[in-house]
Every structure is written in structure tokens, then in C-alpha cells.
Structure 1
Amino acid sequence: MAIISATLIISLGTYWQRRLTPLKKMRVNQTTVPTIFVGGDYARAFSTNGFVHRLTTAHLMKKGLVVHVSQTGHVSVKQFAPFTTNPTIQVIFADNHHAKRQARQFATVITVLADRYHVKRYNAVGHSSGGNIIFDYLTADIKHPAKINKFVTIGSTYPGLTQQVLKQLPTQISILNIGGKIWHTTGDGGVNLKDVLKFSRQLQIAGWQPQTRVIQGSPLTAAHSMLHINPQVDLLIMQFLYGSTTN
């Protein structure tokens, strides 16, 4: 059993190192604009830890802040590094099953980032309902103390979205919409790909020019819960945010 366990660990390690090779070959532009990561339904730190670990290990980003939001909306922040080289900000909600409420709490997060850390512009990456949290905040009729630069939505659907709501979305932002498709199925096992792609069509009708990408493959790469730990998704995000190239 010990030999089998050791072999399995080594094999998995080799597999992930091979998959991470393209990230290690990447070269990206460096900015001080932070990127905020928001996980989906029932997601805690694990959902976004992978992004931060992989991208900082590859020296493409730098871990900046981890923001915890309590059940009552209280915001506490731990800083790991100054905002110098493509800094990351993880937002982790204690109440992580009510997207509308989290969107209101997210407004407090942005205010704290603007007031305490002088964040004037930011990028945002949301997986699953994390995309809804960010979108609901962006389209809320409230004061926005910082401006969003680019928005990445991964495996997110926007049921009930109307063109009237889209009019509230800041017009200057760039949007990348990523969906998953397991082999010959209709989606990523969690959401239907048609529902993900519908968001891109609605944006186009309203005048945006979103980038749309579909991750196709096995459940290990294209499943809903695997998209946020897929290095191929990392590549798409980095290319979109920083105009990166591979050597």
C-alpha cells in the first residue's frame, strides 16, 4: 500500500507539473492593478487558492490581499505584499450561499479596498455564482468607488438577465466568458453550455464585444468544479488580463 500510495503521489505530481509547464513559460505585462478572485456557491478559500498558488508560483502574479467577509458583512483584510506586480485579492465569504446578499457585501469590500488600500481600478474573476456576485454588484444602482477594468466569468449563468439590467453595466469594461463542455455532453456537468453562451449573446446585443472561450475535454479538465483548477483556464485569464505571450 505504501508503494502504491507513493507511486500515485509521484504520478499526480508529475501530471500537474507537466500541465503547469505552459504557465512557467509565460511572460506577462506587469501592472499595479489588482485582480479580485471570487469563488462560487459554498466556495471557501479553496476555490481561489488554486489560482493564487499556480499564478504566483509561475511568477505571473503576486499574492496581495486575502479579504474575509463575516456572516454579518464585516470585512477583515490580511496583506501579504504591496500592490506592485499583478497583485491578487481573494474575497472569501462566510455566508457563501446567497449571491444577492454577497453582492451587497461585495460593495463593502470594494469600499474598503478603495479607502484603505487606494484601489482605483481592478480586474475581477468569478467562478460560477462568483460571477453573479460581481455582476450583481456592477449593475447595482449604487456608488462605485473603484472602476472595474476587466471581468472574467467562468461557468456562470445569468438567468432572468434583461437588456434593462445590462444598461447598468459599466460600458468601458472588457469581458471574457468561459464555459466548459465534457466530451459530447451539453455542458460542464453543473451548468448547460447554452446558458453560459447566452450571456455572451446578450452582451453582444447590448453592444459589448465579449471574448468567449469553451474548455472541452474530460471531467478532469472541463467539469464545473474543475474549471477553476485548470491551467488552460489560467492561460486564458492571463492572456486576457495582461496580453501575455508564451515562449
Structure 2
Amino acid sequence: MRNKFILTVSLMLIIALGFYGQHWVAKTTTSQAKIQNSRMVPTIFVPGSEATINRFDDLFATINAKGAPHSVLKVQVSTSGQLTFLGSINANDRQPFIVIGFEDNQDGYDHIKKQASWLAKALDTLQDRYHFQTFSAVGHSNGGLDWTIYLEKYHADDDFNIPILMTLGTPFNFSESSLQRRTEMLNDLISGNNQLPKDLTMYSVAGTEDYTDDGIVPVQSVIAGKYIYQKAVKSYTQITVSGDNAQHSSLPENPEVVSLIESNILKPLARSDRKQ
């Protein structure tokens, strides 16, 4: 009698596991199909240290004033990894803007490494919600470091296709003004650059007030990015902007930077979408 009871329970468990397993496979297959067929190609922005998810508002307003507006979704990641969403993506918007910011937005290598891990979590959650696979990335200041560490440690080509990365005033060698004095972080990023996507097009933008720095970040620290990206990715381009709006905090609103984002990110993504 006892053996019969055990056999019955075992059969019920097998049937239940089979049912839920089949349901999980069907759900996963449906989700993957949505991702593969998605025509949404967002541009995802990460602000720098001490900056909030509102950092790019002026940039978005400038771009949206020129034509069909892009939806804006903002994601705040807490220190426990919880995500808070502000804004929304319109149903027919194929090129929305998404900002990912962090409750712990402090400077320093240890903080930046944590931010990169939270960035990975936020991207996975966004993909589950919106089923996109391709996006381009923009990072201001330390936001460019977040993207670089993410690409080296967390990115997988099977999960996301990232054709373009643009960094604005990113201090790849922190506050060092000499390329001969490499920080621990720069050495780590150089060592890990074999993990960068081989088909990535990378633009590194430096601002300059006096041809030495942008008021905060030395130009040579921005240029140090070449040791990480050059010859490791499909294309690496160093760009320097100058003038009244080339200060570090003003770079996202700099007219030349706005033009660079429009011509090198938004237009190529739009052309790619029309080919699909």
C-alpha cells in the first residue's frame, strides 16, 4: 500500500514537472521570438558620478524639438538592485531614449564596478519588458566607464547587439594628465579589452577649455581610451570639441555633441531600421 502511494505521488510530480517545464519552454520560446523580431532600437544613456537620471533632459529636449519626438524612459537602480521606472515608451516608437542611473552614483573605481553590475541587471530587465536586442549606448563622464566595464565583464553577443558606443568626457585614466602614469583601472580595462564586442563602433568625445582639460577631466585621460578600444573593436574615433559649451558638465548639451549623436547614432540606427 505504501509503495502504491509513493508511486502515485511520484507520477503526479512527474506530470506536474512536465506541465510546468513545457509551459516554461513555451514562454521562453515566445519571449525569444519577440526579441528576435523586435524593431525597437533604443539609445541608452548612463550619466556620470553625482549626476541624476535627469542629466540628459536638455539634450533630449533639443533633439525632440527638431522632429518626431523620442519617448523617454528613466530607470533608477537602488543599492539593493531594485529598479524604479519613470516615464514610458510609446507603442510605435522604434528609437526611444532610455536613461539608467544609480542610487549609488559616487566616484571611485569600486563604486563604478558596482554600477556596471547594476547596469547589466537593468538591461536584462529592460529586455524582458520591451523585447529589444539592439541598442546603442552613450555615457557621460564616468558613465562611459560603466559602459566599458559592462562590455568587458557582463555583455554577451547572444543577448545584445550594440553597434555604437559614444562616451563624453570619460576619464579612462581618472585624473591623471599623463599617459605614462596609468591607474589601476586603466590597466584593468586594457587587460580586459579582448572581451569587447569586435563589431563595435566607438566614439570618444573630449571637451577642452584650454587644450589641457574640460575644467574637470584632463584631455589626456579621455585620450587614454585609445589603449582600451583601438584595434580591439571595429572602429575607434577620438573627437575633441572646444568653445563655450565644452566644459565637462555642459558636454551633453554642446551643439557639436548633439550633432554627433544625431549623425553617428540616430541616423545610422534609423537607416538600419528601414532595411529590416
If the length of structure 2 is used for normalisation, what is the TM-score? 0.70
- Whether 2:164 is the aligned partner of 1:156: answer no
Gaps of 5+ in 1: 1-30
User: Greater relative contact order: 1 or 2 (C-alpha under 8 angstroms, separation 6 or more)?
Assistant: 1
Specify every segment of 5 or more residues in structure 2 that has no aligned partner in the other structure, as ranges. 1-38, 174-185, 269-276
Q: Does residue 78 of structure 2 align to residue 70 of structure 1?
A: yes
Distance 1:225 1:174, change over 3 A: same
1:239 deviates by 0.8
Q: Corresponding residue for 1:225?
A: 249
Alignment of 1:76-91 (within 5 A): 76-78=84-86, 79-82=88-91, 84-91=93-100
Distance 2:42 2:61 in 1: 16
Shift of 1:127: 0.2
The answer to whether residue 116 in structure 2 is matched with residue 103 in structure 1 is yes
Q: Residues 136 and 39 from structure 1, CA distance in 2 versus in 1: closer, same or farther, beyond 3 angstroms?
A: same
1:128-186 CA-to-partner distances (Å, cap 9, x unmatched) read 0000111111110565632212100000022324543110111111111100110x341
DSSP 3-state at the match of 2:118: helix
Mapped to 1, the partners of 2:166 and 2:255 lie a distance apart of 15
Equivalent residue in structure 2 for 1:177, among 204, 219, 227? 204
CA distance, structure 1, for counterparts of residue 156 and residue 211 of structure 2: 42
- Structure 2 match to 1:146: 160
Structure 1 or 2, whichever has the larger Rg, is: 2
SS at match of 1:222: coil
Distance 1:149 1:83, change over 3 A: farther
After superposition, the Cα gap between the structure-2 partners of 1:70 and 1:181, relative to the gap in structure 1 and judged at 3 Å, is same
Greater fraction of residues in helix = 2
Deviations 1:80-122 (A, max 9, x none): 4236242110112111112111111001111001111102111
* Structure 1 segment 1-247 matched on structure 2, within 5 A: 32-59=40-67, 61-78=69-86, 79-82=88-91, 84-97=93-106, 98-141=111-154, 143=156, 145-159=159-173, 160-161=186-187, 162-182=189-209, 184-206=210-232, 208-218=234-244, 221-243=245-267
Aligned length: 211
DSSP 3-state at the match of 1:212 = strand
Task: Give aligned-pair identity as a percent.
Answer: 29
Indicate the RMSD between aligned Cα atoms, in angstroms: 2.1
CA distance in 1, matches of 2:248, 2:113: 21
